[in-house]
Amino acid sequence: MDVLEKLKGYIKANNLQDVARAAKSGCQEKCEIGPNAMAMPQNEFISDLTLEDADRLIATYLVPLKKG
């Protein structure tokens, strides 16, 4: 949940609500390698996330969405 909240906070702070969303999902049947995330539309499944990984997710998937 900490990773999710950090991603949500970045999206809100950078006004990316129209182009990005971080949301809790239902079961992905991968709890043994979790916490997990799915990046869309890239269809990239990321496992074993820690709070430190949130910065990598932000840099990889969200920073490129910022305009200007």
Q: Give me the chain's average pLDDT, please.
A: 89
More confident residue, 27 or 41: 41
DSSP-assigned beta bridge partners for residue 38: 45
Q: Does the residue 61 lie in any domain?
A: no
Please report, in angstroms and rounded to a whole number, the separation of the first and last CA atoms in the chain. Answer: 30
Q: Angle at CA 53, nearest 5°, toward 25 and 47?
A: 50
More confident residue, 58 or 29: 58
Q: Does the residue 67 lie in any domain?
A: no
Element (H, E) at 3: helix 2-13
Q: How many domains does the chain have?
A: 1
Domain residues for the domain of 48 are 2-53
* Res. 60: pLDDT tops 80: yes
Q: Does the residue 64 lie in any domain?
A: no
Q: Does the residue 46 lie in any domain?
A: yes
More confident residue, 58 or 27: 58
3-state secondary structure at position 40: coil
* Res. 59: pLDDT tops 60: yes
3-state secondary structure at position 42: coil
Q: Give the pLDDT band of residue 33 (cuts 50, 70, 90).
A: confident
